[in-house]
Amino acid sequence: MSAQAKTVRITYREAMRQAIREALQRDPRVFLMGEDVGKYGGCYAVSKGLLEEFGPERIRDTPLSESAFVGAGIGAAMGGMRPIVEIMTVNFSLLALDQIVNNAATILYMSGGQFNIPLVIRMTTGAGRQLAAQHSHSLEGWYAHIPGLKILTPATLEDARGMLWTALEDPDPVLIFENGALYNMEGEMAADAGAVDIDKAAIRRPGTDISLMTYGGTLGKTLEAAAELARAGVNAEVVDLRTLRPLDDATILDSVTRTHRALIVDEGWRSGSISAEISARIMERAFYELDAPVARVCSAEVPIPYAKHLEDAALPQVPAIVEAARAMVGEHG
């Protein structure tokens, strides 16, 4: 590797598109299916240009029936294909819950191990774009409740570029949650970026005083908060969970064991959330390492408001993260 590794300037959306294109090129069993993924180029323009490049056999527009096309994806996976099913947003995935939870997650078990479901479902999640209550859910924590599923939450360009291929290689259903606020995120990425692991959390910023744990759409805010904390003399570590199921307990516990404080930032609602699960695991397995109660910054427990100022107030924001962290660390950094 040369010291001057070549990088490209790219957006999260383009990184994801590169990943899909590469998958389509590498494996003839891969195809993309979903609402408006073809002619329209995807509701978030992720699949723009792919229909022209790969044709309607492999870039398939579907009727507006999540249950039907997720079910078709499960069938295709059982039949030997490697489908990528795009559900426009997590909000609409509720119409396909039966297919995802009752079928995709259980068929391997129900068939006595005869049928794997090598299916990848991508969907947008998150709020913050004034789309109002019915289009602003963050329900990835719900899906992380289900045995039989893997739940990925790429928060960086590298993960947007690299998680899909690894997910397709997985013999079992994998759900990828792309936070809608990230599509326009732009930055430098190695030109040769490729597949990445999907079973480890990542330390995005090493620190000693407190562990800020987050994933997906709130990683950027949390890193910003850590930078602000650093200016106040608090050296915060930022853990990007990356995969919500299975959780990388080792990295989580190791971080807490070093910093003795954990603050979890989660765009989901607090009650019964993935942040609750992480908090419980820390309590169960690192209790005697804790120098302060585990704390959480989550979304307010309301339907996400439409009005900009109210929506901002309902979601985890940098000042709230900074304030919570400073309270935990106290006057001694």
Partner 1 sequence: MPALGADMEAGTVLQWLVKPGDAVKRGDIVAVVDTEKATIEVEIFQSGVVEKIVVPEGEKVPVGEVLAIIRADGEAAAPPPAEKPKPAAAPPSPRPAARPPAPPPTGEQAPAPPATKAAAVAPSVEKPKAPPPPARPEHPRLRISPLAMRVALELGVDVSKVKGTGLDGAITRADVERAAKAAAPTPAKVAAPEAAPKPAPVTPPVEAPKAPAPPKPAVSPAERQAMMRKAIAAAMGRSKREIPHYYLSTEIDMSRAMEWLRAGNLKRPVTERLLYAVMLLKAVALAVREVPEMNGFFVEGAFKRSEEIHVGVAISLRTGGLVAPAIHDVDKKSLSEIMVNLRDLVKRVRAGVLRSSEIADATITVTSLGEEGVETVFGIIYPPQVALVGFGKIVERPWAAGGMVGARPVISATLSADHRVSDGHRGALFLAAIARILQEPEKL
**Which positions lie near partner 1, rule CB under 8 A?**
260, 287-293, 327-328, 330-332
Chain CA centroid to CA 213, Å: 13
d(CA 161, CA 158): 5
For 150, the token pair is 């893997």
Q: Which is nearer to partner 1, 150 or 260 (CB)?
A: 260
Question: First vs last Cα of the chain: how many Å apart?
Answer: 38
Strand bridging mode 7-11 / 186-190: antiparallel
Closest CA to 108 of 167, 152, 67, 148: 148
Q: Which is nearer to partner 1, 187 or 333 (CB)?
A: 333
For 266, the token pair is 């989660």
Which 3 state secondary structure label does DSSP give 208?
coil
Q: How many CB atoms lie within 10 A of CB 327?
A: 11
Measured from the CB of residue 306, what is the shortest distance to partner 1 in angstroms?
35
E strand or H helix that includes residue 59: strand 59-61
Measured from the CB of residue 85, what is the shortest distance to partner 1 in angstroms?
45
Amino acid at 240: D
Measured from the CB of residue 216, what is the shortest distance to partner 1 in angstroms?
28
Q: Which is nearer to partner 1, 260 or 296 (CB)?
A: 260
Measured from the CB of residue 232, what is the shortest distance to partner 1 in angstroms?
16
Q: Which is nearer to partner 1, 35 or 209 (CB)?
A: 209
d(CA 81, CA 76): 5
d(CA 151, CA 172): 11
d(CA 241, CA 289): 20
For 44, the token pair is 């978030």
Q: Which is nearer to partner 1, 108 or 290 (CB)?
A: 290
d(CA 87, CA 321): 31
Measured from the CB of residue 328, what is the shortest distance to partner 1 in angstroms?
6
CB neighbour list of residue 75: distance below 8 Å, 6 or more residues apart: none
Active site residues: 66, 135
Measured from the CB of residue 234, what is the shortest distance to partner 1 in angstroms?
13
Q: Which is nearer to partner 1, 96 or 263 (CB)?
A: 263
Which 3 state secondary structure label does DSSP give 166?
helix
